[in-house]
Structure 1
Amino acid sequence: MLPETPLTFQYKEAEGSKITADVYLPPHAGSPQKYPVVIDIHGGAFMLGHSRMVSLPQVKDCLERGWIVLVPNHRLCPGVDLLNGPMQDIRDLLTWVYDGSLDAALGDEKMYQVDTENVAAFGTSSGGTLALGLGFDVPKPAKAILSLYGAVHFNDPYWTKPLPHVGAKLPPGLSDAFLNRIYDERPVPTDSSVSLEGQTESGVSKGPDFSRPRDAFAFTQIASGTVLSAIYPQSKTVDRTFQKVDPVQNVTPGFPPTWIVHGQADTMVPIDLSRELLSNLKKAGIQCGMTEVPNEEHTFAATMKVGSETWCLQRKGFDFLEGIIGKGPTSG
């Protein structure tokens, strides 16, 4: 049985963008108890997606471990840049949890108290990058992090290479004037109707709609190898090395325990980029590990079947989180 409709709370407002998070609650223990929290961040190349576009089987797995699951929206690039938009929003969400605001929002749910000493984060694709962003340049990092095929190692030449297999999906005649209409969206949106992983809010998988500037813009940047310059213009001037946003460059001895899950057949974020992150984690002495999933492409979490080999392999990442933050009081 999949999770019920979540509670939704606004955790931030920025220049008119009202930014919300969905909260899924595990079965309660019959008396007020503290529950670990996991933050589950959607993918979408920082330009697409929203909080209902995550793997509900993964959410259910987390609930069965007795965790409160917090699934945030964030502002979407390029109307705001990566550092000051999505990354800052998710960092502010972590502060919102730590400072007691989630507890206050759950005031009517009297059986649930937030265990602020056991807060972990995970995400898929760009969501994995944002989860890793909770491990550096924050007052108090997440206690553990799981990245599923997150985009990292932004200095690698791969990030400026065109992807012909994506370009082949684009219709002819997409003008700059049409694509640039995305910059007119105000306030900056926090959701799009299609994610890079192909999910829609109804749960029916379909491709992008290129009559929408956002879909066309996002896939054009991916196809042309210009995603990073589009979502992080500072990379052209003040932060040419991506020092402020690249998890690979920000692994220090204080980085949280981290696990990586990545498909060996990924053509959108090559697995070698995650292997570089793992290498840096090991060099820094961080508790870490990596699960390589055979024959899986990017975004496999959206379509994997519960009980399949892929499902069982990616669960190693959640087992790792459990080893750090523990089970909740109702997990059995």
Structure 2
Amino acid sequence: MSTDNPLTTLYKEIDGSKISTDIYLPQSDVSSPQKYPVVIDIHGGSFMLGHSRMVSILQINDCLDRGWIVLVPNHRLCPGVNLLDGPMQDIRDLLSWTHAGHLDEFLRDQGPYRADLEKVAVFGTSSGGHLALSLGFNVPKPAKAILSLYGAVNFSSPLWRKPLPHVDAKLPTNLSKEFLNQIYDQKPIPTDSSVSLEGQTESGVSKGPDFSKPRDAFAFTQIAKGTVLDAIYPTGITTDPQFGLVDPIRNVGRNFPPTYIVHGQADTMVPIDLSRDLLKRLKEEGVLCGMTEVPGEEHTFAAMMQVGSRTWWLQREGFDFLEGVIGKGPR
């Protein structure tokens, strides 16, 4: 299957939002149905930006080479819905949709592919890393293994309230509150945006945000001002100092799935100390875990790395970890 033209199906519809997932299938030389591990790949975008085509095709190809079925879902974007009821619930519903056999129903007309429901793993970048980790707690059947690439965790850290001057410097000076708040008028709640935090656009060309669009302007304003949590956190529980319903680090227990972390040491948007905090918590609970720190890399490096580079090989250690848990698919 060409990664330029994945299969697509709806997995959820709510309040007019039609939520789809892309499906990538590995090459297969078998004729009879075989079970393949499933890996969910969740895009980044600070919970407010991006869509399913804004992920690293290099990472998808690596997964396919390992014989895995890859699902790349969309989810509703904040702030029209909050983090808990929107992105987290949508991704959890995708996992339930898969475990309920609906992926297999879709695949029956696509060749010998069947989902091995005992081997469903997940990874994601940035906010997608957080959503990947959210499949490790408060779900009926957690993911088998999790890979977080510079994922958003430890929301009680003061680092989440820290303004980012290098982002603020890119913002126009004439962004009014009325203009920014147009984002709340988008109905049904969108599941895609024209640009992601990773830098990709709908055409795959890397460029910056379009500040003439309320969503781009709103998202980057929150990032610049250190107010992302105010924009996405569930209404009515903002006084919760531990972010207990949404923060993976507050929900790590001994039964948490095996988890690996990859993070750039030069990350100025989600500082690496946040992932180090998560690693410490995982180790305290005796969870099978590990972490690779990538020297010199900023946030969103997965979108710009080249196959064969040092960064490529280092981040690939996370996928090797997943393979150590779910194995390879049939050849």
TM-score interval (norm. to shorter): over 0.9
Which runs of structure 2 are paired with 1:39-118 in the superposition (5 Å)?
Answer: 39-118=40-119
Instruction: Give the secondary-structure state (helix, strand or coil) at the position aligned to 1:208.
Output: coil
The answer to whether residue 34 in structure 2 is matched with residue 33 in structure 1 is yes
- Kept in 1: contact 2:3–2:57 (CA 8 A): yes
In the other structure, the counterpart of 1:276 is: 277
Could you tell me which residue of structure 1 aligns to residue 229 of structure 2?
228
Q: In 2, are the aligned partners of 1:235 and 1:241 still within 8 Å (CA)?
A: no
- Which residue number in structure 2 is paired with residue 202 of structure 1? 203
The C-alpha deviation readout for 1:79-100, integer Å capped at 9, x for no partner, is: 0000000000000000011010
Q: How far apart in 2 are the matches of 1:237 and 1:113? A: 42
Q: Give the RMSD, CA atoms, in angstroms.
A: 1.2
Please state how far the C-alpha of 1:200 moved relative to its aligned partner: 1.1
What is residue 256 of structure 2 aligned with on the other side? Answer: 255
Mapped to 1, the partners of 2:307 and 2:188 lie a distance apart of 38
Give 1:233 deviation, angstroms.
Answer: 4.2
- Unaligned stretches of 5+ in structure 1? none
Counterpart contact for 1:20–1:73, Cα < 8 Å: yes
Q: CA deviation at 1:106?
A: 1.2
The answer to whether the 8 Å contact 1:291/1:313 transfers is: yes
CA contact (8 A) 1:35 1:112 kept: yes
SS in 1 for 2:281: helix
Corresponding residue for residue 327 of structure 2: 326
- Report deviation, 1:4: 4.0
Q: Secondary structure at the match of 2:235?
A: helix
* Amino acid aligned to 2:86: G
Unaligned runs of 5+ in 2: none
Distance change >3 Å, CA 170–CA 164, structure 1 → 2: same
Give CA-to-partner distance per residue, 1:98-139, whole Å, 9 cap, x none. Answer: 010000011211310110000000000000000000000001
Answer yes or no: is the 8 Å Cα contact 2:67–2:330 preserved in 1.
yes
Amino acid at match of 2:22: D
Q: CA 1:290–1:216 in structure 2 vs 1: closer, same or farther (change >3 Å)? A: same
**Does the CA contact (< 8 Å) of 1:129 and 1:247 recur in 2?**
yes
CA distance in 2, matches of 1:250, 1:147: 15
1:15 paired residue number:
15
Partner of 2:185: 184
Q: Distance in 2 between matches of 1:161 and 1:235?
A: 23
One-letter code aligned to 2:240? D
- The DSSP-based 3-state class of the residue aligned with 1:234 is coil
Please tell me whether the aligned partners of residues 29 and 329 of structure 1 are also in contact (alpha carbons under 8 angstroms).
no
Distance 1:120 1:29 in 2: 24
Which residue in 1 is equivalent to 2:153?
A: 152
Counterpart amino acid of residue 288 in structure 2: Q
Q: Deviations over 1:44-67 (max 9, x none)?
A: 000000000000000000000000
Task: Please report how far the alpha carbon of residue 238 of structure 1 lies from its aligned counterpart in structure 2 after TM superposition.
Answer: 5.2
- For 1:45 and 1:222, the matched residues in 2 are separated by 8
Do the aligned residues in 2 keep the contact of 1:257 with 1:286 (CA within 8 Å)? yes
Compute the displacement of 1:236 (Å): 5.7
Tell me how far apart the structure 2 counterparts of residues 201 and 116 of structure 1 sit (CA, whole Å).
Answer: 32
The count of corresponding residues between Structure 1 and Structure 2 is 330
CA distance in 1, matches of 2:292, 2:160: 23
Q: Give the 4+ runs in structure 1 shifted more than 2 A.
A: 1-4, 233-241
> Distance in 2 between the 1:294 and 1:36 partners?
31
Is the 8 Å Cα contact of residues 242 and 250 (structure 2) preserved in structure 1? no
Confirm or deny: 8 A CA contact 1:258 1:288 kept in the other structure. Answer: yes
TM-score by length of 1: 0.98
* Percentage of matched positions with identical amino acids: 73
The 10-residue stretch of structure 1 (27-36 or 9-18) with the greater mean CA deviation from structure 2? 27-36
1:227–1:290 distance in 2 versus 1, CA, 3 Å: same
Which stretch of the first structure deviates more once superposed, 28-37 or 212-221?
28-37
Residues of 1 paired with 2:26 and 2:139: CA distance? Answer: 28
Q: C-alpha deviations, 1:20-68, integer Å up to 9, x for none?
A: 0000000113221100000000000000000000000000000000000
Partners of 1:233 and 1:250 lie apart in 2 by 17
Give the AA of the match of 1:258. T
- Give yes or no for contact 2:84–2:234 (8 Å, CA) kept in 1: no
Kindly indicate whether the alpha-carbon contact (under 8 Å) linking 1:235 and 1:242 is maintained by their aligned counterparts in 2: no
Question: What CA distance in whole angstroms lies between the structure 2 residues aligned with 1:178 and 1:28?
Answer: 51
